[in-house]
Amino acid sequence: MINVKLKLSIVLLSVCMFSYAQNRIKLTDQQNKVTINKHIYGHFAEHLGRCIYDGFYVGEANDSISHTAGVRNDVVEALKKLQIPNLRWPGGCFADTYHWKDGIGPKGARPSIVNNWWGGVTEDNSFGTHDFLNMCELLETEPYLAGNVGSGEVQELADWVQYVNFSGKSPMSDLRRQNGREEPWNVRFWGVGNEAWGCGGNMTAEYYADIYKKYATFMADWDNSGGLYRIASGANSADYHWTETLMKKIPNHLMKGVALHHYAVINWNKKGSSTNYSDEEYFKTMKSAWFMNELIEKHTAIMDKYDPQGKVDLVVDEWGGWYEVEPGTNPGFLYQQNTMRDAMIAGMTLNIFHNHAKRVRMANLAQTINVLQAVILTKGKDMILTPTYHVMEMYKVHQDAQLIPITLESDNYQYGDDAIPALSASASKDKQGKVHISVVNIDPSQQKKVSLDLGAIQAKKVTGRILATNSLREHNTFEQPHTVLPKEYKEAKLQGNRIEINVPAHSVIVLELI
């Protein structure tokens, strides 16, 4: 009996040692010159549900909610704290039905539009080009305008560029001045259509490539002296043929970015609840989110083939979780709650973007307020910040920091016969010399003990913040807005060039080394 117990103890010890050995992060020597572009932290505001109207914009006549020119001041304050680098507008699918000239001039004279994509609602165009671009100035962020290629014309997009960017005398700049804006906004980021393979026109890649070249040509002069950052409508998830066609047919001088869209979805026909999901649904969502890593690797390989110097960026301008709408809400408004599952998606995805920052230089979470994986939810006068918001706030230390490549050995998070890595991580060094390491444990029930090897990096002190909850399904509500909040993390133990940490189940940790 004693021998049996001894053997069992040895087996258990071996299992524990094996598990511990699997969770290691090693920072490599610093010969890397890749910067984590701050524009990876972009956001997305489509005319969809309550994102624009009743989200960002409550109207100039509103006397119950504090605002500036109709834009909620609490939203501005919250997004400035995130240091959002860019904001994409007006779509999405809506972009290819939007005619920008309907949204300028006296508001009472603007025509209405029926939003056929999202709920069939009638909008009065009271939030248009001036409203959006002035809001971006309030937010201290760069605008990213998505042009109408699906139902629009080349001249319409060329006129929009002139209207917002040209400082001299011209028909469009004169019209801008007539509408109250003397100086141009100098918009740099331009999407040439959206999801051309679907709601943007159901085009083939070959057809869209030719259409793109036509629009891109007339948006700028010979040398693109205005410095437009033109972004082609890119692939739907694993459509590698789309990326290859665009890279092969469109000259680099006409295109600065190629888009990619991928959502963490269980089943497009049965997406599941945003709060009452099963363990199986959670695993499938995380597996779909982890697929982003493979997507970027394969799309990058195609881009490297045609653009070995890396002149064209991969722009993941739609990403996030997508579930069924909240019960009792308009199905076309895509309003959903945001739990710790979404914090896992955000932390994992941002780590993936960081580690592929050589090619991924811009991204946009879908969407900012009241839609899909929102960072903010509003209800009348009230506003709450979601778990996703808190992850992006914790991670903002990586913006424009130098990537530190890592090697990661992780336990698997297993469900049935399937498995994905339980841990994801990334590291960077900011301009002040501080090193930040982000670690996510998506395992819903198992804590992970992790050993960090700092290599040649010298550290005197380590501090940290953690986002963790008792339940995976916890979230903030208007009744309890502070259920999920980051807290100080005090368990990191620095010993020479090593740090030992315990990463709780379904948690996000950001360490700072000085």
Residues designated as active site: 195, 318
462 three-class SS: strand
φ, ψ for residue 110, nearest 5 deg: -80, 140
Beta carbons within 10 angstroms of residue 203's beta carbon: 20
Geometric angle at alpha carbon 488, from 458 and 24, rounded to 5°:
50
Q: What is the 3-state secondary structure (H, E, C) of 337-394?
A: CCEHHHHHHHHHHHHHHHHCCCCEEEEEECCCECCCCCCEEEECCEEEECHHHHHHHH
CA distances from 25 to 36, 123, 405, 450 (A): 19, 51, 10, 7
Q: d(Cα 508, Cα 395) in Å, to the nearest integer?
A: 10
Tokens of 439: 């670690």
The interaxial angle of helices 154-165 and 171-178, nearest 10 deg, is 60
Place of tokens 């069939």: 120
Contact predicate 55/112, CB 8 Å: no
